[in-house]
Structure formats: structure tokens, C-alpha cells
A and B are shown apart, each in its own frame.
Chain A
Amino acid sequence: GAGVSQSPSNKVTEKGKDVELRCDPISGHTALYWYRQRLGQGLEFLIYFQGNSAPDKSGLPSDRFSAERTGESVSTLTIQRTQQEDSAVYLCASSLGDLIMNTEAFFGQGTRLTVV
């Protein structure tokens, strides 16, 4: 596809269950970001991948959160033992590169996670 694709678009899960969210970046984009956006709030940075470098995990809120990326393609964000406070829209973005480049980022439509 032409844009960043995220799946599922909506996910309802029971408290305590694990969930996996998927992001397919734009082909050729080496940089990939995950954000969380709670209702009525701003975007919180979670994790950043750039090529084969070690990811920047500085935004992950707890060890229940993890993310992987296979090369420069799909990424999955995993939340273990979900809590109600994890309810949010999870957004993925990709961009062409890193370094000092004036690149723009492209966002997916997000996955709306509801923990009940």
C-alpha cells in the first residue's frame, strides 16, 4: 500500500490479557516510531527504530511494553497483562531516514485499544 498500515484498527481486550499491535511502514522507510495517545491527550513517544540499530526504548512506560521490528519492515508492539490505563490509540509512523535529514513522517490511522 501507499501509506502506513496498522492493524487491527480496533481492539477490545480483557484486563490481564496480552495484545499485539501491528504496523506496516511505507516501503523503503528505515525509521519507525510508535506513539500512544490517550483520549483528549497529546502524543506520547514510546519507541523508535532506525534500520538495524538498537531501538530507542526510552518512552516505553513499563516492562509490560515491548516492540520488535524485522529489518526495515513490519513492527509489532506487544502489551502484556493489559491494564485499563493502557486504553488509548496507538499510532505508528515511518520516515525515510535518520541523521540530520529534513524528512517528514507518515502516520498510520492507529489502533484503538480498549481494555475492559
Chain B
Amino acid sequence: DAKTTQPPSMDCAEGRAANLPCNHSTISGNEYVYWYRQIHSQGPQYIIHGLKNNETNEMASLIITEDRKSSTLILPHATLRDTAVYYCIVSLGGGADGLTFGKGTHLIIQP
């Protein structure tokens, strides 16, 4: 069973904020929420991760609900180069199943 549920695709206008949702209703107390993205023909790239608190870095912000059953990745000012498949992963951060990729969300930034 997949630990996360994401919409298969989303569009966003260039320059606008892209908000990518992820449901993880069975997350356990010590599991982190990770986001990676894969731009066409490249290896996946780490974006951000968090446990309970909201997180922000130079790439994105991660908003985790209080009950931790869902989260949203926010790209504040999307550019065409942000077009990619975005993967939400629930993990302890290590081990063989530390990186189990689902189908992700194909985010398309429109000019």
C-alpha cells in the first residue's frame, strides 16, 4: 500500500506560487515527510523535509498539518524550470525503504 497520495498532475502559471498537496494519513510519529523532484532525464533531487514544524529553504516551503496527515509543498514563484515530477515520501530517513517513490505529481509550469 502506498504511504502517500498525490494528484497525478497539476498546472501552474509561471511566476505564481505552486502548491502541491500530499496525503499521508497513516504516517507514524517518527516518520518524516520528504519531497524530491525529478526533472526530465535527470536523477531525482532533494527539495525539503520536515517532521512536525513547517520548514523553508531556498527552494521551497513545506507546510505540515497539525495532525501530520497531510502536507503541502510550496514553490513560491514557479519558473519554467520547475516543471518536473514531484515526489512526496514518508520515511524514517534511512534504510532500504527510506526512499520509496510513488507516482508523484507531474507539475507543469505554463508560460
A interface with B by C-beta (< 8 Å): 4, 31, 33, 35, 42-43, 45, 48, 50, 56, 58-59, 91, 93, 95, 97-110
Of the candidate stretches B11-19, B65-73, B74-82, B99-107, the one touching chain A is B99-107
Q: How far is the CB of B35 from chain A (nearest CB, A)?
A: 10
On chain B, the number of residues with a Cβ less than 8 Å from chain A's Cβ atoms is 24
CB distance B34 to A104 under 8 Å? yes
Q: Of the candidates B32, B43, B92, B95, which one forms a contact with A93 in the assembled complex, judged by CB atoms under 8 Å apart?
A: B43
Shortest Cβ distance from B85 into A: residue:
A42
Chain A residues contacting B43 (CB-CB under 8 Å) are 4, 91, 93, 107-110
CB distance A91 to B44 under 8 Å? yes
Chain A residues contacting B97 (CB-CB under 8 Å) are 45
Q: Of the candidates B93, B95, B101, which one forms a contact with A42 in the assembled complex, judged by CB atoms under 8 Å apart?
A: B101
- Does chain A have a CB within 8 A of B51? yes
Chain B residues contacting A31 (CB-CB under 8 Å) are 94, 98
Chain A residues contacting B99 (CB-CB under 8 Å) are 33, 35, 45, 93, 105
- Does chain A have a CB within 8 A of B110? no
Q: How far is the CB of B11 from chain A (nearest CB, A)?
A: 19
On whether A58 and B96 interact (CB within 8 A), knowing A42-B103, A100-B30, the answer reads yes
Q: Of the candidates B30, B42, B44, B98, which one forms a contact with A43 in the assembled complex, judged by CB atoms under 8 Å apart?
A: B44
Q: Of the candidates B45, B95, B98, B102, which one forms a contact with A107 in the assembled complex, judged by CB atoms under 8 Å apart?
A: B45
Q: How far is the CB of A16 from chain B (nearest CB, A)?
A: 28
Most A-side CB within 10 Å, residue of B30, B92, B99, B104: B99
CB distance B103 to A97 under 8 Å? no
Q: Of the candidates B42, B46, B95, B103, which one forms a contact with A104 in the assembled complex, judged by CB atoms under 8 Å apart?
A: B46
9 A-B pairs closest in CB distance: A107-B43, A56-B96, A48-B96, A98-B94, A104-B46, A43-B101, A102-B93, A107-B44, A101-B93
Shortest Cβ distance from A3 into B: residue:
B43
Chain B residues contacting A50 (CB-CB under 8 Å) are 94-95
CB distance A104 to B49 under 8 Å? yes
